[in-house]
């Protein structure tokens, strides 16, 4: 049995500023785990690099060999309040001592409706809201597709090229970030149409309405050539592309999309699974543009690492009836307890920290880019930042060079690296990460 880690050791890890590597990567214990993993897990799991974490605190991770890493991917933007935040841990511990599980689909869990009440309070959807709780973001997407089709009586749903909404059948049908996610699984969900996302960064490519995601494409191509607007149930959009490259749309694009949906009676669904929960410096990314969707989808950081997602819809849209949708585990008491603690922490100071420290990170990355030609673009909001490179191989090389130095980042899109640290990340940790990232970029530039 693994030895219990002392509180003092956890505090020491949380207070660390920079990585500390004591073995080559991967270390001997990590290699044992990787070898076992290769024998018994699904080969579909797309591992980024040989990280084998054992514990975490704040913005730091420690692997099974004692190597310490500065975590700037937060478990793919999931550990919003940092690793093992004491308030979240205490909330989960207290709940676990009372009730581990009872299905919110068939019975009345007090903490289930408490989370929904909080989501009603913090989620702007143009009126009072009701929520359906899920195990994950992809399940929230599935629920939104079903509700939109049911409520409107329409069959078509519009998504965007570059978007990622999940890997279950409905969500992967909307996903259009990589063809690999859809390959050999067809036929996928019918009635899904894709349009260009508002992407202002197009290196070495001619500008055109299609390339820039001009909203006229939906009117002039989708509605004129493919389907009538009164056949479209919903438009599902990530306010900022996530897995598709951390692409921030130009000002006015989301407002125009809202106007288009309102004009044609189409529901606007904001997939805030990655952009929400304070990551961009506001509770929801849509708030930066003053846009109120009809349905908001949450996941990832909503419960600081415990499995939870939510579909939050304006009350008048919740017209489905008893038994039409449910989930055995969705809204599990432990995840709900973590979510309530997470909401409080984000509203108290973590969204503000994401805005302030994120600005420091963004400025630092742009300063590096000014002196490093291998970087083509730096973009983002709050602690959701993408760095564009000339091609996938360069981005991948930078990601791995960072890992060898103890900084955890992830690739995104065709040729970008994303940074999405926990919202508790400190300025001194940002400065340490910038130094490592600059070294990694310089190393890759020398080998090109």
Residue by residue, what is the 3-state secondary structure of 9-54? HHHHHHHCCCCECCCCCCCHHHHHHHHHHHHHCCCCCCCCCCCCEE
Q: What does the block give as tokens for 85?
A: 């935040």
Q: Where are the alpha helices (DSSP H) in 41-166?
A: 74-77, 86-96, 110-122, 137-152
Do 397 and 414 lie in one domain? The reply is: yes
Q: What are phi and psi of 120, to 5 degrees?
A: -60, -40
CB 295 within 8 A of CB 165: no
pLDDT in tens, 328-376: 999 999 999 999 999 999 999 999 999 999 999 999 999 999 999 999 9
Range of the domain at 102: 90-345
Do 94 and 139 lie in one domain? The reply is: yes
Residue entry with tokens 């585990």:
329
CB 165 within 8 A of CB 269: no
Given CA atoms 262, 265, 266, 270 in this order, what sign does their dihedral have?
A: positive
pLDDT for res 208: 46
User: Average pLDDT in the 106-129 region?
Assistant: 97
Do 158 and 134 lie in one domain? The reply is: yes
Do 161 and 98 lie in one domain? The reply is: yes
CATH number reported for the structural domain that contains residue 66 in this entry:
3.90.1150.10
Do 74 and 217 lie in one domain? The reply is: no
Q: What are phi and psi of 295, to 5 degrees?
A: -140, 135
Rounded Cα distance between 55 and 408, Å, is 15
Q: What does the block give as tokens for 231?
A: 């056949």
- Please report whether residue 259 resides in a domain: yes
Do 60 and 115 lie in one domain? The reply is: no
pLDDT in tens, 149-186: 999 999 999 999 999 999 999 999 999 999 999 999 99
CB 423 within 8 A of CB 279: yes
- Please report whether residue 366 resides in a domain: yes
Question: Is 214 a residue whose pLDDT tops 80?
Answer: no
Do 319 and 408 lie in one domain? The reply is: no
- Please report whether residue 2 resides in a domain: no
CA-to-CA dists, residue 98 to 88, 101, 102, angstroms: 16, 10, 11
Burial of 156 (0-12, 13-18, 19+ CB in 10 A): buried
Residues 6+ apart with CB under 8 A from 155: 149, 190, 191, 231, 233
pLDDT for res 448: 80
Rounded Cα distance between 265 and 246, Å, is 29
Structural domain count, the chain: 2
What pTM was estimated for this model as a whole?
0.95
CB 352 within 8 A of CB 388: no
Report the mean per-residue pLDDT for the chain. 94
Question: CB atoms < 10 A from the CB of 66, how many?
Answer: 13
User: Average pLDDT in the 118-132 region?
Assistant: 98
Do 185 and 279 lie in one domain? The reply is: yes
Residue entry with tokens 């929230």:
140
């Amino acid at each position: 049995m693994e030895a219990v880690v002392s509180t003092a050791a956890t505090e020491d890890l949380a207070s660390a500023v920079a990585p500390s590597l004591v073995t080559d990567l991967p270390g001997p214990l990590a290699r044992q785990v990787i070898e076992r993993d290769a024998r018994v897990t699904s080969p579909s799991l797309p591992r980024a690099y040989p990280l084998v974490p054992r514990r975490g605190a704040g913005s730091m991770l420690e692997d099974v060999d004692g190597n310490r890493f500065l975590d700037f991917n937060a478990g793919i933007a999931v550990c919003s309040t940092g690793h093992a935040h004491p308030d979240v841990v205490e909330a989960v511990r207290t709940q676990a001592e009372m009730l581990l599980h009872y299905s919110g689909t068939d019975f009345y869990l007090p903490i289930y409706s408490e989370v929904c009440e909080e989501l009603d309070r913090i989620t702007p959807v143009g009126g009072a809201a009701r929520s359906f709780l899920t195990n994950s973001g992809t399940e929230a997407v599935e629920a939104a597709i079903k509700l939109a089709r049911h409520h409107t009586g329409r069959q078509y749903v519009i998504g965007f090229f570059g978007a990622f909404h999940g890997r279950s059948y409905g969500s992967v049908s909307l996903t259009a970030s990589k063809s690999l996610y859809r390959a050999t699984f067809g036929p996928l969900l019918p009635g899904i149409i894709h349009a260009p996302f508002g992407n202002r960064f197009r290196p070495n490519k001619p500008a055109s309405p299609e390339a820039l995601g001009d909203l006229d494409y939906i009117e002039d191509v989708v509605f004129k050539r493919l389907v009538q607007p009164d056949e479209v149930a919903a438009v599902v959009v990530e306010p900022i592309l996530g897995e598709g490259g951390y692409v921030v749309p130009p000002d006015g694009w989301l407002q125009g999309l809202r106007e288009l949906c309102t004009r044609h009676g189409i529901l606007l669904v904001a997939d805030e699974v990655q952009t929400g929960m304070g990551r961009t410096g506001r509770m929801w990314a849509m708030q930066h543009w003053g846009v109120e969707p009809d349905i908001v989808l949450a996941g990832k950081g909503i419960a600081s690492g415990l499995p939870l997602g939510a579909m939050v819809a304006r009350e008048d849209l919740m017209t489905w009836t008893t038994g039409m949708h449910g989930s055995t585990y969705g809204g599990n008491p432990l995840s709900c307890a973590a979510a309530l603690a997470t909401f409080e922490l984000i509203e108290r100071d973590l969204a503000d920290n994401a805005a302030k420290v994120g600005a420091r990170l963004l400025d630092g990355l742009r300063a590096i880019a000014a002196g490093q030609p291998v970087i083509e673009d730096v973009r983002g909001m709050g602690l959701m930042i993408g760095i564009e490179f000339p091609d996938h191989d360069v981005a991948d090389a930078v990601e791995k060079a960072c890992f060898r130095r103890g900084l955890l980042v992830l690739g995104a899109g065709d040729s970008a690296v994303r940074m999405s640290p926990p919202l508790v990340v400190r300025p001194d940790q940002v400065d340490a990460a910038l130094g490592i990232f600059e070294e990694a970029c310089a190393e890759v530039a020398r080998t090109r």
